[in-house]
Structure 1
């Protein structure tokens, strides 16, 4: 007998006691009209800015990520070969800059990565663990790429992934919605922005 979908997938994971906010790849490349990686909207950036303000008010740790490759993209391997627009992120050019709305404040870590997941090939997991973090709140781009990959790796590293629905974006609503559906079903939790902001406010010591 095949059980109903809700009995197989979608159990809830609790928002933990020690969250951190992870802002994934909110770089100019995704928000500059006419660029190959442009996602067509700034709504997720505006939402991420509000979530960031709430995290800072609650003294919740904040980590930013951005993508940058060495000369020729040699440190990007097959991923760099597969995704042609990544060539614009070689070095420290303007398209790799984090957007002013979510610019890092003093003391906020910026992780430079080469692959989709913020955990792959970086020290992110150990950095969060030593701070006692149990929950990673995710905002950024793109939902079907770096957000999904980071959510999957977060749960595999023992952190509860909380994806802020309004604070993530993609180039097309179809992969965006499909991946939010899958994340909620199997890899983490998808929360509305107001609920995340309220929860962060409760984190104030």
Structure 2
């Protein structure tokens, strides 16, 4: 049976959230989230999932966070916002704000950059872009299940989309927090599936 939100006739988009050098690439930064991304090997899984979305004609959107030079307009209103300000590295156009070097970005992909907020829809053109593609379902991947992915799932549902988490294409700060967020929070607002299940559901849409 197709995953909820990927039944035949449903149009989907893949959101690749905050897969950036300065957040999860060990060549540029360190920390427990970096370790989880490496341990779960989510970069190649995201690349495989993105390739299937492109083959199906569905959009792949890379949702990144960065600050304008000088942190103009940056709202320092929570711990994570303060952390980004203190680190002073996620500046728009910098190598730290760029997509992780291992992420396969293709010319038909989109980048939606936000300069404040902690989830993908805040202050971006993401919702109108999805409407233009007649998207019914957003498939979430990337980091982190602690904040950005749960926030993005809630926003997606609030805007009328179905949400689906690619569980093995995502990570949290720890294995325990990842499991807790899925079991207690994400599964309440989103379907949850693996990359291979999502790929199979997409192929099933057109009889492949």
* TM-score, scaled to structure 1: 0.84
Once residues 66 and 97 of structure 2 are traced to their aligned partners in structure 1, the CA distance between those partners, rounded to angstroms, is 7
Residue 26 of structure 1 corresponds to 19
- Larger helix proportion of the pair: 1
Gaps of 5+ in 2: none
Q: Specify whether residues 105 and 14 from structure 1 end up closer, same or farther in structure 2 by C-alpha distance, changes over 3 A only.
A: closer
Cα displacement (A) at 1:73: 2.2
Gaps of 5+ in 1: 1-11
- Count of aligned pairs between the two proteins: 194
Residue 127 of structure 1 corresponds to 129
Alignment deviations for residues 5-64 of structure 1 (CA, whole Å, 9 cap, x no partner): xxxxxxx95435101111111111212257255521331212111111211222221111
Q: Specify whether residues 55 and 79 from structure 1 end up closer, same or farther in structure 2 by C-alpha distance, changes over 3 A only.
A: farther
Where do 1:56-95 residues align within 5 Å? Answer: 56-79=54-77, 82-86=81-85, 87-95=88-96
Question: Cα RMSD (Å) of the superposition?
Answer: 2.3
Where do 1:1-205 residues align within 5 Å? Answer: 13-16=4-7, 17-29=10-22, 30-32=24-26, 35-36=29-30, 38-40=33-35, 41-42=37-38, 43-79=41-77, 82-86=81-85, 87-114=88-115, 115-204=117-206
Runs of 4+ in 1 over 4 A off after TM superposition: 79-82
Conserved 8 A contact 2:5-2:163: no
Once residues 71 and 150 of structure 2 are traced to their aligned partners in structure 1, the CA distance between those partners, rounded to angstroms, is 23
Q: Specify whether residues 99 and 203 from structure 1 end up closer, same or farther in structure 2 by C-alpha distance, changes over 3 A only.
A: farther
* TM-score, scaled to structure 2: 0.83
